[in-house]
Chains A and B, each alone.
Chain A
């Protein structure tokens, strides 16, 4: 079974600075997808970014980018120019390429605080 580990329960960053959230995963599969979801205090889960394992190029979405290291099974999220609205719980998630349903395996989450 696949597992996802986020070793940083809490992180904080000054507004406008850059922060990196870590995620590692364990799988024997070669084809899979990785996601970062954001959960603000409203509890609503919001997709931030997605990475296909077969793509060497790291995904980017505006101020959000990932560092995907397939051999190391590492998938970190970098947030540039941090804003107060980025304060949230961030979850890393894994999905096997097999099967039809989007069954995600989530990490434990990292709570990100933005200091003004």
Chain B
């Protein structure tokens, strides 16, 4: 199974350019998320979609927009990239509600996309 697939894996942008990170999951999960990972700061939630047709801001939404295209796909857009957006971006998916069992609430992550803004 592919799980969560992100594209592209690497991207270099110039300040002011725009780009979209694509994410797709094949696990029929209702919820999807975008996180960014920076050294010494862990992962921080940018936006999430609890279910198809809904999106909500996370901890660090400024400078980003998202689209939940359908149940499978959740894209992240940088309209005018800034050097502060240089980071590794992770897409994740999960069941909508916390399920029982030792792995209940587990997030399934993609492999990450490394973005550099010059």
- Please tell me which one of the listed residues A6, A50, A109 contacts residue B104 in the complex, with CB atoms under 8 A apart: A50
> Most A CB atoms within 10 A — which of B95, B96, B97, B107?
B107
Contact residues in B for A47 (Cβ distance below 8 Å): 103, 106-107
- Could you tell me the distance between the alpha carbons of A49 and B43 in the complex, rounded to whole angstroms? 18
- Could you tell me the distance between the alpha carbons of A105 and B59 in the complex, rounded to whole angstroms? 9
| Residues B51-91 near A (CB distance < 8 A) | 51, 56, 58-59, 88, 90
Contact residues in A for B44 (Cβ distance below 8 Å): 106
CB pair B90–A101 under 8 Å, yes or no, is no
Which residue in chain A gives the minimum CB-CB distance to B3? A44
- Could you tell me the distance between the alpha carbons of A96 and B49 in the complex, rounded to whole angstroms? 16
B109 to chain A, nearest CB (A): 4
CB pair B31–A101 under 8 Å, yes or no, is yes
Which residue in chain A gives the minimum CB-CB distance to B103? A47
Contact residues in B for A61 (Cβ distance below 8 Å): 102
| Residues B17-66 near A (CB distance < 8 A) | 31, 33, 35, 40-45, 48-51, 56, 58-59
Secondary structure type dominating chain B contacts: loop
Given contacts A43-B88, A97-B98, contact A108 B107 (CB under 8 A): no
Contact residues in A for B111 (Cβ distance below 8 Å): 42-44
Contact residues in A for B105 (Cβ distance below 8 Å): 33, 35, 50, 95, 102
Q: Is A84 an interface residue (CB 8 A)?
A: no
Which residue in chain A gives the minimum CB-CB distance to B35? A106
The 8 A CB mask of A25-42 against B (1 = contact, 0 = none) is 000000001010000001
- Could you tell me the distance between the alpha carbons of A97 and B42 in the complex, rounded to whole angstroms? 21
Q: Is B5 an interface residue (CB 8 A)?
A: no
Which residue in chain B gives the minimum CB-CB distance to A101? B50
Contact residues in B for A107 (Cβ distance below 8 Å): 42
The 8 A CB mask of A7-32 against B (1 = contact, 0 = none) is 00100000000000000000000000
Given contacts A47-B103, A47-B107, A59-B102, contact A103 B90 (CB under 8 A): no
Can you list 14 contacts pairing A with B, beta carbon distance less than 8 Å?
A4-B42, A33-B98, A33-B105, A42-B111, A43-B88, A44-B111, A50-B102, A50-B104, A95-B98, A99-B50, A102-B33, A103-B33, A104-B107, A105-B59
